[in-house]
Amino acid sequence: MEYFVRHRTAYRYVQDVSSSCHVAHLLPRETPHQKVLQAELLFAPQPALVRRLVDYFGNIQNLFTIEEAHAVLEVSSESRVVTGPAPSLDPALDVPWEDVRAELETAREDDTRDAAQYLFDSPLITALPEMADYAEISFTPGRGILSAAADLTTRVHRDFRYDTTVTDAYTPVEKVFRIRAGVCQDLAHVAIAALRALGLSARYVSGYLLTSPPPGQPRLVGADASHAWFALWAPGCGWVDFDPTNNMQAGESHITAAWGRDYSDVTPLSGVITGGGEHIVEVGVDVVPVTEESA
């Protein structure tokens, strides 16, 4: 599928900002299942400096500074991407999860060493003992890692209420685990914490969902906003993406923007301002199939 993606963010300040410096993770990245045809950022007011970099995790990162007074900042990303369906998982690669943990402990191969960096706690995710207890209901002795991860995805979807009013962008995972509610970011954090508590590698993935589902298909939760899910590392498969908010393996309706240890590594837009006082933020996302956009 080919999509047009637009992500618009507007900051409205009660007082003028005299200058500001920002970091954006708003442009999609290439993956084995996604090709980026075009991607650009649009600004108002126009920055004095814009630099496009690649961050530690391989994400596209834009740094920009605005040196004129402004009461409103608008940043829009526009891109065209082609995505493929979720990869078929070979049952022969669904090896016992304990074997994967043992392989990560030794980390002799390059890809295993790279995956091992996602074993550890990160700013928003602490793998507590009670999260290991929760994970072990799915990860029973000898069970295949992929089928266990799919079961964990289903349980997080069932056990945690989707609620936009009870958390914010920096709510720690232990609170989400306690209140059993949150948004897509929080559900991804819970699954990652549970996997890391067992000694498995899991990373946070930010991106987007198809806004308008195909005829006859249910509308996915999280559309019209940034979305998030998690990826689990398994030998022979690499990274496999699961979406606990919608209880599914991430596929061609999921557009990847960036990945890291947790949300704090891939915040869509952050920065430092001089002045401004209080502000409100407006965010809008559209994901439209190119054939529909052209119609």
Domain boundaries for CATH 2.60.40.2250 within the chain: 2-83+267-294
Number of neighbours of residue 212 by Cβ within 10 angstroms: 14
What DSSP line would sit under 53-95, residue for residue? EE-TTS-EEEEEEE-S-EEEEEEEEEEEEEE-PPPPPPGGG--
Residues 6+ apart with CB under 8 A from 72: 10, 11, 12, 13, 44
Among 1.10.10.10, 2.60.40.2250, 3.30.210.10, 3.10.20.600, what is the CATH number of 2-83+267-294? 2.60.40.2250
Best CA proximity match to 258, nearest among 87, 79, 132: 79
147 pLDDT above the threshold of 70 = yes
Give the domain 91-265 fold. Answer: C8orf32 fold (3.10.620)
The first and second tokens of residue 218, run together, are: 């249910």
pLDDT digit string, tens, across residues 58-68: 999 999 999 99
Tell me what pLDDT residue 133 has: 97
Which regions of the chain carry the CATH code 3.10.620.30? 91-265
| Contact call for residues 195 and 128 (beta carbons, < 8 A) | no
* Interatomic CA distance for residues 55 and 36, integer angstroms: 17
Q: What is the DSSP letter of 213?
A: P
This prediction's pTM: 0.93
- pLDDT category at 221 given cuts 50, 70, 90 is low
pLDDT of 278 reads 87
Backbone angles phi, psi at 197, to 5 degrees: -65, -25
- Taking CA 174 as the corner, what is the angle to CA 134 and CA 136, rounded to the nearest 5 degrees? 10
